[in-house]
Amino acid sequence: MNFWNYVARRLVGIVFVLIGVSIITFLISHIVPGDPAAAALGDRAREEQVEAFRKQYGLDKPIPEQYVIYMRGLLQGDLGLSIRTRRPVAQDLAQKVPATIELSIAALLIAITLGVPAGIWSAVYRNRLPDHLVRIFALVGGSLPIFWMGLLMIGLFYNQLSLLPAGGRIDQFTPPPQTITGMYTVDSLLTGNMIAFQSSLHHLILPAFVLGYFSTAVIARMMRSSMLEVLNQDYLRTARAKGLKERAVILRHGFRNALIPTLTIIGITFGSLLSGAVLTETIFSWPGLGGYATSSAIGLDFPAVMGVTLLAAIIYPLSNLFVDLSYAWLDPRIRHG
């Protein structure tokens, strides 16, 4: 029962986080200089057209009243109508979010696959050549801007080697798979469309690697630090004294305990990947949430900006909750309540 009480308290906390984020974002978006009606209609719009537009979207009402109207619709599952696209924000997000989630998950898998073994390798061979190589790799990964890394990868793998495409989610003449989840690689596998799977995977590699490279460096550094602490613990010395092979000592006993701090970084990383996807999606013409958020902010599309912000505010605490719940699986001594 304590476990479910813990989960319930965390979920209630997420509700308060969303309320706070909605108030702050709403106020900031409405005090920014600029007229969203004029931005949406253009410079040639007549004054009566601008006024009618403001009235249609409730922009002529006081800010507190606009917020109450927005929250009333939000409680009913209505994120409002996008000023820029003239469609429900929820509908726009449903079209854009799967592409960003697909890119973020692929980037996270790359970061975990490369970062965790690199961190273990670096700790085991501390102050030797493998350790120096991993530390240089992590330093470079944490220093290079995403946009520069993206342009570099496009220049190398697209312009010079012609191995990977430079943008988009699928080849121009390949029909997208039947929509089930909205993620092309998953939907193509579920429907058995291997042509679409190969094409979508081909397009996913470069942006996923660019987005995940920075996170790889962060995970590798954290894994190295955690492993260095674990390798000096008494229970590992006992395991060695019992005659266990070094590989079993490190992977079976050391790795599991060292993974707990790293898991926290992985959870935070997933949320940061969604925000970092803005630049990556722009560089690789990836039709996801990043481009939608950027266009909405430039066009002063308040409902769309609010929708994107609230979505990010949900993802971050849910990721942290998942990480906290997984602690008990990694270490049975940890209990929630």
Total domains in the fold of the chain: 2
Residues 115 and 255 placed together within one structural domain of the fold: yes
Gyration radius (Cα) of the chain, Å: 24
pLDDT of residue 318: 80
pLDDT interval class at 275 (50, 70, 90): low
Provide the 8-state DSSP code for 188.
Answer: H
**CA of 189: how far to CAs of 174, 178, 180, 208, 252, in Å?**
15, 10, 11, 19, 33
Q: Please tell me the distance from the alpha carbon of residue 50 to that of residue 42, in angstroms, as a whole number.
A: 9
Dihedral angle sign, alpha carbons of residues 287, 201, 151, 278: positive
Residues 219 and 269 in one domain: yes
pLDDT tens, residue by residue, 25-65 = 777 777 766 667 666 666 676 777 777 777 777 777 777 88
Report the percentage of the chain scoring pLDDT > 90.
14
Task: With beta carbons less than 8 A apart as the criterion, state whether 262 and 223 touch.
Answer: yes
Tell whether the model's pLDDT for residue 200 goes beyond 80.
Answer: yes
Q: Reduced to 3 states, what is the DSSP secondary structure of residue 81?
A: strand
Give the largest Cα separation in the chain, rounded.
Answer: 85
**333 falls in which pLDDT band (50, 70, 90)?**
low
Q: What is the pTM for the complete model shown?
A: 0.82
State the residue range of the domain holding 20. 2-75
Say how far apart CA 99 and CA 106 lie, in whole Å.
Answer: 11
**Residues 136, 46 share a domain:** no
Which of 90-104, 161-175, 262-276 is predicted least confidently?
Answer: 262-276
Query: In CATH, what number is assigned to the domain containing residue 321?
Result: 1.10.3720.10
Range in 92-96, 111-115, 314-318, 333-337 the model is least confident about: 333-337
H or E stretch at 29: helix 2-31
In a shared domain, residues 21 and 140: no
Question: Do 146 and 276 form a contact (C-beta atoms < 8 A)?
Answer: yes
Q: Is residue 81 part of a domain?
A: no
**DSSP code string of 82-146:** -TTT-SBHHHHHHHHHHHHHHHHHHHHHHHHHHHHHHHHHHHHTTTSHHHHHHHHHHHHHHHS-H
**19 and 118 housed in the same domain:** no
Among 245-254, 292-301, 324-333, name the one with the lowest average pLDDT: 324-333
Give the model's pLDDT for residue 38.
65
d(CA 291, CA 295): 6
Confidence at residue 190, expressed as pLDDT on a 0 to 100 scale: 92
pLDDT in tens, 204-226: 999 999 888 888 888 888 889 88
DSSP 8-state assignment for residue 245: -
Determine the average pLDDT of the residues in 289-296.
83
Boundary residue ending a domain (75, 109, 133): 75
pLDDT at 187 over 90: yes
Least confident of 40-54, 73-87, 228-242: 40-54
| Pair of tokens at residue 70 | 């927005």
Average pLDDT estimate for 235-246:
79
Q: What is the mean pLDDT of the chain?
A: 82
Alpha helix positions (H), 144-301: 146-153, 184-190, 194-231, 234-241, 246-248, 255-283, 289-298
Which residues are CB-contacts of 249 (< 8 A; sequence separation ≥ 6)? 236, 239, 240
So what's the pLDDT on residue 258? Answer: 81
Measured in whole angstroms, the distance separating CA 211 from the mean position of its chain's CA atoms is 9
Q: So what's the pLDDT on residue 248?
A: 78
What one-character DSSP code corresponds to residue 35? -
Q: What is the pLDDT of residue 334?
A: 63
What the block records as the tokens of 265 is 């970084």
Question: Position 41: which residue type?
Answer: L
Tens-place pLDDT, residues 128-157: 998 899 888 888 877 778 888 888 889 989
The CA distance from 272 to 290, in Å, is: 12
Answer with the residue of higher pLDDT: 109 or 52.
109
Question: Is 311's pLDDT higher than 60?
Answer: yes
The answer on 256 and 167 residing in a single domain is yes
CA angle 266, 272, 276 (to 5 degrees): 135
What was the pLDDT predicted at 188?
A: 94
Q: How far apart are the first and last CA of the chain?
A: 8
User: Are 59 and 126 in the same domain?
Assistant: no
Q: Which residue has the tokens 């003239």?
A: 86
* pLDDT value for 194: 93
DSSP at 176:
P
Same domain, 216 and 276: yes
Residue 89, pLDDT > 60, answer: yes
In a domain, 144, yes or no: yes
Least confident interval from 38-52, 192-206, 232-246: 38-52
Q: Last residue of some domain: 52, 75, 98?
A: 75
pLDDT at 79 exceeding the cut of 70: yes
**Does 293 share its domain with 179?**
yes
